[in-house]
Chains A and B, each alone.
Chain A
Amino acid sequence: MDPISGLMNGFAIALQPQNLMWAFFGTFMGTAIGVLPGIGPALTIALLLPVTVYIEPTAAFIMFAGIFYGAMYGGSTTSILLNTPGESGSMMTALEGNKMAQQGRGAAALCTAAIGSFVAGTIGTLGITFLAPPIAELAFIFRPQDYFALMLLAFLSVSVVMGSSKVRGFIALFIGLSLGVIGIDKQTGMQRLTFGVPDLMDGVEMTVVLVSLFAIGETLYVASRYGQTKPMLNPLSGGMWMTKEDWKRSWKPWLRGTLLGFPIGALPAGGAEIPTFLSYTLERKLTKHPEEFGHGAIEGVAGPEAANNAAAAGVLVPLLTLGLPTSATAAILLAAFQNYGLQPGPLLFINSGDLVWALIASLYVGNVMLLILNLPLAGLWVRLLFIPRPYLYAGILIFSLVGIWGVSNSWVDLAMMFSVGLLGYVMRVYDFPIAPVLIGLILGPMAELQLRRALAMGQGDPLILVSTPMSAVLVGIAFLIVLVPAALHWRRTRKISV
């Protein structure tokens, strides 16, 4: 199916009333969780997984897409009005956006952020529409060694890029890998690391690990260091719309932010932080009003916000085409696909074309909904931040228990919730990145399967792992990602000591 007819077919499904309702529910919830602390899109989708098993897959993914995009919008609102980024991609927005709000230009900042997010989200979705099918076709020629190399690249890049220390990044990855090997080995039927516990035979439940690491770890961390401060809300004034001058200063940063965000978001471990930071730096260099930077420059809001949303769209390209998650949220979306017995990758476009195209079409629909929800209602959304923290975090724990106890009514899952929650707490205190744990847990078993397939094809010869041009290049890049920064560091320290 070519992209245009696929997309038209997708719109026919996404615009059905019940799917529009799921899209609205997703965007509404996404905006809310983007505003609220302690809860993000990855955790929300994980908590909803046990519930959505009873919903048709297309409807569930339309809702997830709304949550995914909505969280980006919600994050910018709190960054601008309260100087509290709801998620990491909105940190750069807070720098200039909050200054604008303090000067009474909060409405213009919110407007450029929302329209920038809409422009970037729409261009990013266009990118998915036209890039995903050819990449998925390309994946048909992928052999087991290519997939293994791709996963190796994801492992190494995620561990090196995320967090402040490579050793801690790799430890997080290996903890995830060690959790991933628990259970019955699917090829031989032998039990691995189950310690004789029957509940562990099916492996460690992904939802349990995710919810425990994010929700329980965060609750323990925030409760122990809780500081009661009332949010200082900057009043919305200065009119709802941007001035002609604001438009003139915003449209180029929107486009530049999109061009930076989309490709970086599609890279393993690219994330939203790097493109938003690059966009801010670029806008600061190109602006005709350098004196305004640091004091409320509209370009500093428009560019990073566009980059943030374009990166979110970029994340979906490797996920849908290659089954490769490049962020924590993408890892959960992959788990959601697996929950429905679907495997993202080239076959998804053939076997579940309706679902994929409806999902892509719902991204366009969701973007329009988000613009409508966010522009006039920004002042209302921030009121969510006034929910008393004792009740917010108690509610998060109860929702976590719905997700964990609802999976299989297993006492082992509750014990795992407690121990993995403590692990999440320690990781926050000692600055270990959390995303590599999830990537290791989800991709580890897949990488092992591809490694076994490749070695079986090569009669046990390890050189099979670099036998195709694609696998050789990917393995080469993977090792360069580790070796180049290490070599540069060694050179720097040597120079200093000389």
Chain B
Amino acid sequence: MRKIFIKAIMLFMALTVLTGLIYPLAVTGIANLFFPVTAQGSLVIRDRVIVGSGLLAQKNDSPFYLWSRPSASEYSTWPSGASNLGPASKVLRDQMSDRRRDWRIQNGTDKDMPLELLTASGSGLDPHISPEAAARQLDRIARKRKWSAKQTRSAKQIVDRFTEPPVLGFLGQPRVNILLLNLALDGI
């Protein structure tokens, strides 16, 4: 009996050191050697200031910029969170019609409203929307920023350039990253 406990303690300590210290440290070492940017959170830096992470959506409801998908946790990263509301929830249905109304007020019509903007994401930090959802917001932004026709055209080209295709043609769907796109639009 005592022998079993001693062996249990010894083996537990050995495997804790191996899997709980050496392994994560090794991964950190190798990862930061080969992939230093992603390992540290894919930080996006402009004028020497961190403006966000290329993988996390951020709160931005200014009409001058593209909007991300709604977030049940108000884009909190600390902690992240979702609504967990079921399809039969009145609250969810109300939220969806509110979002539709807001879109109509900002864009004149809700006929062509991209569907992914109706619902909150799982992480509350979904960094992507569809290229269509980006393109449809450009009219509003052009109006607000008083862009010329040429500027609007080049904004559309930027959206095309930022569109990431599905991986291997079938994993995922075409998508654009909001933060990177918004920063690029500032350059027009």
- Do A and B pair up? The answer is no
